[in-house]
Amino acid sequence: MRRFLLLAFPFFLFNCNHFWGNPYKTPLPPRIVPVMNDSLRVEPANWWVGMTWNKLEILFQRPGLAEYEVRLEQGKGMKILKVVKGDSPNYLFVTLEINANAPAQKLEFVFSKGKNTFTHEYPIRERNDAIKAQGVTPRDVIYLIFPDRFANGDPSNDNVAGMLQGLQREKDEGRHGGDLKGIRDHLDYLKDLGVSAIWLNPELENDQLEASYHGYAVTDHYRVDRRFGSNAELRELVTECHWRGIKVIRDVVLNHIGDNHWWMKDLPAKDWVNQWPAYTNTSFRAPSLVDPYASEFDKKHFNDGWFDKRMPDLNQRNPQVSNYLIQQAIWWIEYAGIDDFRIDTYTYSDQAFCSKWCQALLDEYPNLSMFGEIWENAVPVQGFFADDQPMKRGNFDSNLPGVVDFQLCFAIQDALTKETTWTEGASKIYYVLAQDYFYKDPYKNVIMLDNHDMTRIYTHIGESSTSTKREWLFYSLQGEYRRFTTPLKSWELGIANPTGAAFARNFQVVGRGLRSG
């Protein structure tokens, strides 16, 4: 009948006092990444000809930049459509239109303020024909990897000068040294398991004071965390995966950033993140978006509240934020050859934006079968966020091809731990599957037994479970249920976490086995 399987890993806790600007009692020194011309930051750093997304909004940032005029010195088949200034005096957002027949070239942007002038060379490149954006299908088995906890292939990057956290293997919430090279070194191991796709928990920079290992508090959207490797090393990993017939899924976070993101030291606009008079957590109540009786405050509290004090909530209703997040996703596919996306905390983001984001990605790469994290407790709530489901009659369509099927996960766990009655135990599976009419294509949903946020399945069902129960477990995943499967790292060895989530984080691959951290 349908979906995907997932192997996972656990994660995180945080805290801070301020959420406007620098959140620390003692301000951290600003981190400026020089691009060209006296620390001019440019994002994205380049683009390509022949793209569907051909109205590119480029972020330029430098002290006092908003006082400058900007023009193109020359550009064949290209022109500036508009320039937007933020509330900060240090940003310009320049929209560049790239005609369909424009050649690859190096543009020259000229910035002028009276007699002061500087230029920036901006490359528009030819698209390469490398494999990319393949999308996952019901034939795939997805293996979920926490890069920091998988394998340490390059000890030299365990501690990076200037970054806030280094190696702390003695701490559950510390960094343990895993990296991209460690994953590359074990691709044959994964291939031997029958894995056809790997889902990497976020590998972008998370330069946070604590719990940076999990990756869900991004501090730079265009830079791989140096403790994992480099942008080039990510591209090399993807290439080697493709040689072996393994796809690579990025875990993308649209809802929030880390409070040490470079934006937080100089927000481009006052509404760049969702602000409250006092710190306000999200309600964590996604059903408020479906509930016909919910107040507008209930909806706002859920969508605009912060997931955590160290995770500022992005305001995707701001058009520059929206464009930035769309372009960033496209850029990484073109640059590194990413094949698909799992979308973290999908329900918490502005849903009009999410619909736009999904459609823009599908317009560019029709084979994508992105799946969102919808951790809820009923099929109608989970299904509300999936593509072209019955709620479209309410003038809403997410354009999201698939979801992570928590409902089937919960049902399988009940079947393995509870006595079967008319409605409980194994009957739960039947009732969940009978509601698949709610999805446009249930085969695009990803199934799992546990993930990086949950108690491991072998702990949940009891470590002394009989072989019969385990055989039934695997049959339920690989048989007639959803065929997209996602196992968590080390799940294939029957690893449990008897002392809680922290224990499950403490394993790294060594050769073909695992060792305790």
Beta-bridge mates of residue 254: none
Question: Would you place residue 517 in the very low, low, confident or very high pLDDT band (cuts 50, 70, 90)?
Answer: very low
CA distance from start to end of the chain: 39
The encoded tokens of residue 163 equal 């970054």
Quote the pTM value.
Answer: 0.88
Quick check: 508 pLDDT over 60?
Answer: no
The conformation of residue 70, written as its DSSP 8-state character, comes to E
- What is the distance between the alpha carbons of residues 317 and 272, in angstroms, rounded to a whole number? 9
Share of the chain above pLDDT 70, in %: 81
Quick check: 18 pLDDT over 80?
Answer: no
Q: What is the average per-residue pLDDT within 149-175?
A: 94
Q: What is the average per-residue pLDDT within 506-517?
A: 32
Give pLDDT tens digits for 399-450. Answer: 999 999 999 989 988 888 899 999 999 899 999 999 998 898 999 999 888 8
Tell me the residue type at 333: I
pLDDT at position 278 is 96
Least confident piece of the model among 7-11, 150-154, 322-326, 337-341: 7-11
- What is the distance between the alpha carbons of residues 376 and 298, in angstroms, rounded to a whole number? 17
Q: What is the average per-residue pLDDT within 471-499?
A: 55
Half-sphere exposure of 412 (CA within 13 A, CB side): 24
Q: What is the pLDDT of the chain when averaged over all its residues?
A: 85
The encoded tokens of residue 93 equal 């957002």
Tell me the residue type at 39: S
Spatial contact of 403 and 386, defined as CB atoms under 8 Å apart: yes
Question: Would you place residue 496 in the very low, low, confident or very high pLDDT band (cuts 50, 70, 90)?
Answer: low
- What is the distance between the alpha carbons of residues 245 and 89, in angstroms, rounded to a whole number? 48
The conformation of residue 126, written as its DSSP 8-state character, comes to P
Give pLDDT tens digits for 81-132. Answer: 999 999 999 999 999 999 999 999 999 999 999 999 999 999 999 999 999 9
Question: Would you place residue 457 in the very low, low, confident or very high pLDDT band (cuts 50, 70, 90)?
Answer: confident
Q: b/e map of 225-245 (b: 16 or more CB within 10 Å)? A: bebbbeeebbbbbbeebbeee
Question: Would you place residue 74 in the very low, low, confident or very high pLDDT band (cuts 50, 70, 90)?
Answer: confident
The encoded tokens of residue 33 equal 């990444």
Pairing type for strands 105-113 and 69-72 reads antiparallel
pLDDT at position 477 is 56
Query: Any idea which residues carry the catalytic annotation?
Result: 344, 373
Sign of CA dihedral 194, 180, 361, 453: positive
Least confident piece of the model among 12-21, 217-226, 261-270, 334-343: 12-21
Quick check: 208 pLDDT over 60?
Answer: yes
Q: Residue 201: helix, strand or coil by DSSP?
A: coil
Quick check: 373 pLDDT over 90?
Answer: yes
Quick check: 17 pLDDT over 80?
Answer: no
